[in-house]
Amino acid sequence: MSIQVFGLPISRGVAIGRAVLVASSRLDVAHYFVEPSQVDAEIERLRRARDLVAAELEALQRDMPGDAPAELSALLDVHLMLLHDESLTSATKQWIITRHYNAEWALSAQLEVLGRQFDEMEDEYLRERKADLEQVVEQMLRTMARGASQDPHDGAALGPVLPAARDFAGADALVLVANDIAPADMIQFKRSVFAGFVTDVGGKTSHTAIVARSLDIPAVVGAREASRLIRQDDWLVIDGDMGVVIVNPSPIVLEEYRFRQRQSELERVRLARLRHTPAVTLDGERIELLANIELPADAPAALEAGAVGVGLFRSEFLFMNRNGELPGEDEQFAAYRAAVEAMQGLPVTVRTVDIGADKPLERMSVHELRHEHALNPALGLRAIRWSLSEPAMFRQQIRAILRASAFGKVRILIPMVAQLREIRLTLEAVERARQQLRDAGVAFNAVDIGAMIEVPAAVMIIPTILRHFDFVSIGTNDLIQYTLAIDRADEAVADSYDPWHPAVLGMLQVTIAAARAAGKGVSVCGEMAGDPDFTELLLGMGLRSFSMHPARIASVKQRVLRSDTRKLEQRTKAVIAHEEPELEARRLLLS
Ligand code: PEP
Ligand code: MG
């Protein structure tokens, strides 16, 4: 039966493929593809884990004290039976053989399938055996984790290089379905085979959505029941323009979407031709289109897309999922230097670590964060506040960035600045780091220091910020969240997360005007910069520098090329003054 699930469109286009469910309870299980030559070894790993668990259970049974309850022995029998059941072992093997999933992923995929079969059983006793199956699988997963010291993903902030879709046999396109995915897990799916993805939770500018958007695949988040309604291997259509997921579409619907898929492919090819066209408006204003990156490995895609530099390198992705061990100065230096060298002389803006809120250090879903940790994580110890509370770590990071400046043009960007005290402590830390490098005779070049403008307090003290910093970059994702008091990662309030809100536009206008008047650089690096619906508005406000995911550059450039900033200026004033700016913008700017 065909059903539709509605969510939030976060990345445009149409994807058609088979569902791959990633169970959220097992997100600490690595999900990756094995090379075809590794399939046998992976099956062997699975077999070994099963045999070890069986041996443990048998030993338990053997050593059970005489007065142990009879139910315990019966329970161990059930576990052993489940462990050897064909529906678990052979079927799991099939996921490895046909899909090239790693053993842990294959096992959790099969648990998902069997779990649903148990749920549908009439007999209550049999239904309750699902919990036993879960325990057996957990034991196998733990056993594999113990023996997984050479897991290719351990601490792999740079992410695995996954095989391209065409590399594995008879492949249908795959669509990732999950309740929730932590940003650090999402990054593992970079360069992976997925043609699209859908999650139950998340807002349009949650970090998971941002990373997903950077993959440039159609995606829908906040689809609430999707991971419950969709089953492994279902056929799915992801409509990333409308935010709809169609499960098992009829042939007519499928044909319609295949047509739209071809259309958007053609549009993509057409836009790609703009890659080397300079971004200059009709009235001759040169516009700087920069890239947002998460890892140094993203830099080539930024160059390829025609970016004239990196406007935001989210360095926190180097810090995630490392089991408490943070990257040292040399490791960070190597990463920043790699990004700088890859950009071939173009500027790279490294933002100091912005950890916290929906970007925890350890792998954790937004759901877990929201319910198990600080009540208001977005208002807690995050970004510059966290860095200042860890002065040694902060100085290490600054030294690493400064050292990279010896290899190209580097700028430092400070996230979440809101108070004069933070400004002073930050600039002192930078100065101390410079002095330490000078004392040690380590080379570095002049580096501009900028502040992110992403809380209303920063807008209100913009003259102070501009006095102390060389440039500012507006983080609209957080600025909207904090101005409207709407959690950017919460699908329940996603309808009210409104970039067109007059208060948000007012914040942008004030910041851009103040920076220009002070003769300081101002850029927007939030998701708004990569949304062509806002290009004219931002140009009309006087913005000349935009930083976005490389995949968005061509669409924004197309808008720039058709714009006349002199005309836009007057119209933008009218839009901002209107009580419904979006309506007015559609009439004056976007028609
Ligand atoms: C922003 O808040 O707009 C921004 C660019 O930073 P991040 O999305 O990483 O919080
Ligand atoms: Mg931010």
pLDDT at 151: 40
Alpha carbon separation from 412 to 336, 393, 473, 560 (Å, rounded): 11, 16, 11, 27
453 Cα–ligand 1 center, Å: 10
Residue whose structure tokens are 């749920």: 119
Q: What is the pTM of this model?
A: 0.78
Integer Cα distance of 296 and 158 in angstroms? 8
CA nearest ligand 1 atom 10, residue: 478
Ligand 1 touching residue 476 (CB < 6 A): yes
- Ligand sitting nearest the alpha carbon of 527: 1
Q: What is the 3-state secondary structure (H, E, C) of 297-346?
A: HHHHHHHHCCCCCEEEEEHHHHCCCCCCCCCCHHHHHHHHHHHHHHCCCC
Ligand 1 touching residue 525 (CB < 6 A): yes
Contact by Cβ (8 Å): 235, 248:
yes
pLDDT at 184: 67
472 Cα–ligand 2 center, Å: 13
Ligand 1 touching residue 478 (CB < 6 A): yes
Ligand 1 touching residue 316 (CB < 6 A): no
Ligand 1 touching residue 311 (CB < 6 A): no
Angle between helices 565-577 and 581-588 (to 10 degrees): 150
Residue 37 CB coordination number (10 Å) = 7
Q: Which atom of ligand 1 is nearest to the CA of 481?
A: 2
pLDDT at 321: 74
Tell me which residue of 160, 148, 225 sits closest to 186, measured CA to CA.
160
CA nearest ligand 1 atom 8, residue: 477
354 Cα–ligand 1 center, Å: 9
CA nearest ligand 1 atom 3, residue: 475
Residue whose structure tokens are 């113990």: 146
Ligand 1 touching residue 475 (CB < 6 A): yes
Contact by Cβ (8 Å): 57, 79:
yes
pLDDT at 152: 36
Angle between helices 103-119 and 124-146 (to 10 degrees): 170
CA nearest ligand 1 atom 6, residue: 475
Ligand 1 touching residue 314 (CB < 6 A): yes
Ion ligand 2: residue ranges with CB closer than 5 A = 454, 475, 478
pLDDT at 69: 67
Contact by Cβ (8 Å): 540, 568:
yes
**What six digits make up the tokens of 478?**
């957080």
Integer Cα distance of 177 and 556 in angstroms? 29
**What six digits make up the tokens of 442?**
């380590």
Q: Which residues fall within 8 angstroms of residue 67, CB to CB, at 6 or more apart?
A: none
* DSSP bridge partners of 546: 289, 524
Q: Which residue type sits at 87?
A: S
pLDDT at 194: 84
479 Cα–ligand 1 center, Å: 8
The C-alpha angle with vertex 376 and arms to 375 and 378, in degrees rounded to 5, equals 150
**Does the annotation count 207 as an active-site position?**
yes
Q: Which atom of ligand 1 is nearest to the CA of 207?
A: 8
Integer Cα distance of 257 and 238 in angstroms? 9
26 Cα–ligand 2 center, Å: 28
Ligand 1 touching residue 354 (CB < 6 A): yes
Q: Which atom of ligand 1 is nearest to the CA of 357?
A: 10
Instruction: Out of 478, 488, 511, give the residue to mutate to test ligand 1, the one with the largest number of ligand atoms within 8 Å of its CB.
Output: 478
Q: Which atom of ligand 1 is nearest to the CA of 312?
A: 5
Q: What is the DSSP letter of 173?
A: P
Instruction: Out of 186, 204, 205, give the residue to mutate to test ligand 1, the one with the largest number of ligand atoms within 8 Å of its CB.
Output: 205
Catalytic, out of 79, 525, 549, 578: 525
Ligand 1 touching residue 365 (CB < 6 A): no
Residue whose structure tokens are 């919990």: 131
- Ligand sitting nearest the alpha carbon of 546: 1
Ligand 1 touching residue 477 (CB < 6 A): yes
Angle between helices 476-484 and 502-518 (to 10 degrees): 130
Tell me which residue of 144, 167, 160 sits closest to 36, measured CA to CA.
167
Instruction: Out of 213, 350, 352, 354, give the residue to mutate to test ligand 1, the one with the largest number of ligand atoms within 8 Å of its CB.
Output: 354
Q: Which residues fall within 8 angstroms of residue 523, CB to CB, at 6 or more apart?
A: 288, 290, 311, 471, 472, 473, 474, 529, 543, 545, 546, 547
Name the burial class of residue 119, with classes exposed (0-12), middle (13-18) and buried (19+) by CB atoms within 10 angstroms of its CB.
exposed
Q: Walk along the chain (591 residues) and give the pLDDT tens digit of each residue.
A: 899 999 999 888 899 999 988 765 444 677 788 889 999 999 999 999 999 999 988 888 888 777 766 777 788 888 899 999 988 989 999 999 988 889 998 998 898 888 888 888 888 777 778 888 888 888 898 888 777 544 433 333 222 333 333 333 346 788 989 888 777 667 767 666 788 989 998 888 887 788 778 888 899 999 988 988 999 889 999 999 999 999 999 999 999 999 999 998 898 899 989 988 999 999 999 999 999 999 999 999 999 999 999 999 999 999 987 777 889 999 999 999 999 999 999 999 999 999 887 777 765 555 555 555 567 888 988 999 999 999 999 999 999 999 999 999 999 999 999 999 999 999 999 999 999 999 999 999 999 999 999 999 999 999 999 999 999 999 999 999 999 999 998 888 999 999 999 999 999 999 999 999 999 999 999 999 999 999 999 999 999 999 999 999 999 999 999 999 999 999 999 999 999 999 999 998 887
- Ligand sitting nearest the alpha carbon of 476: 1
Alpha carbon separation from 28 to 96, 364, 488 (Å, rounded): 19, 8, 24
Catalytic, out of 207, 373, 501, 549: 207
Ligand 1 touching residue 526 (CB < 6 A): yes
**What six digits make up the tokens of 546?**
């935009």
pLDDT at 149: 44
pLDDT at 362: 67
Q: Which atom of ligand 1 is nearest to the CA of 528?
A: 3
CA nearest ligand 1 atom 9, residue: 314
Contact by Cβ (8 Å): 288, 326:
no
Strand extents, DSSP E, 107-226: 174-178, 194-199, 219-221
* Three-state DSSP state, 287: coil
Ligand 1 touching residue 454 (CB < 6 A): yes
Integer Cα distance of 165 and 177 in angstroms? 17
For the beta sheet containing 14-22, the strands, ordered from the edge strand earlier in sequence to the opposite edge, are 3-6, 244-247, 235-239, 14-22, 174-178, 194-199, 219-221, 8-11
pLDDT at 490: 87
CA nearest ligand 1 atom 4, residue: 475
**Does the annotation count 367 as an active-site position?**
no
